[in-house]
Every structure is written in structure tokens, then in C-alpha cells.
Amino acid sequence: MPKIDIGDIERLRDMRYPYVDLYYDEGLSFEARFVAWAMQRLVDLDLPLTISTISDATELEPFVIKQKIDEIEKLWNWKLREFDEKAGKYYLIRQ
């Protein structure tokens, strides 16, 4: 059971832009589409957008989430993370 309830992925009315196109892209793995959907739902619910909150919502391991974000960024040529030089960390960009 997820620690954070973000709704039901089977209900398409829960989908929001810009991630709805990712959900239908068969070039992405299902897990990558699921991660994109979870990211949008977290933003919609005004919850923190972090690897750990995505992990809590999807029950995917943080390493898997990072891989799926890489997959989305590469295939869609999107930038979903930015590097904070002061902190020396990557942060997810809220869409």
C-alpha cells in the first residue's frame, strides 16, 4: 500500500497536462509513464516533488525512479531536473 495516496492511475480523468502525452507514449516503459503520472499528481495535490515522495506514492525504489526520469528526459528531450550548485544536488522541476 502506498504511503501517499495520489489517486487511481486507471481513471484517466485524473490525468493532467503536460504528462498525459507521456502516459500514451508506447516508446516509454510503463514504469516511466507511471512515474510521470505520479509526478503530475503530486504537483496537483500540492505535495513535495521529490524522489522520496514519488517512491512513497508509487512504491518504486528511488533508483528505479531516477532511471525512469532519465528515460523520459532522453526520449522526450525534456529537462525534469535541475542542479543546485550551492547544495550540490539535483532537484525535480515542478511542471
pLDDT per position as a tens digit, 36-50: 888 888 888 888 888
Residue 4 lies in a domain: no
Residue 64 falls within a domain, yes or no?
yes
Residue 68 structural domain: 12-92
pTM here?
A: 0.77
Q: What pLDDT score does 2 carry?
A: 62
For the beta carbon of residue 53, count every other beta carbon within 10 angstroms. 19
- Crossing angle of the two packed helices 30-44 and 62-76, in degrees rounded to 10: 100
Residue 5: inside a domain, yes or no? no
Residue 25, in any domain of the structure: yes
The number of distinct structural domains making up the chain is 1
Question: Residue 31 — very low, low, confident or very high, per pLDDT cuts 50/70/90?
Answer: very high
The pLDDT tens digits of the residues spanning 58-85 come to 999 999 999 999 999 999 888 888 877 8
25: nearest Cα among 80, 75, 79, 81: 75
Cα–Cα distance between 27 and 49 in angstroms, integer?
A: 24
Q: Does residue 3 lie within any of the structural domains? A: no
Give the pLDDT of residue 19: 66
52 domain-assigned: yes
CATH number (domain holding residue 69): 1.10.10
Confidence grade of residue 17 (pLDDT, cut at 50, 70, 90): low
What's the maximum distance between 2 C-alpha atoms anywhere in the chain?
40
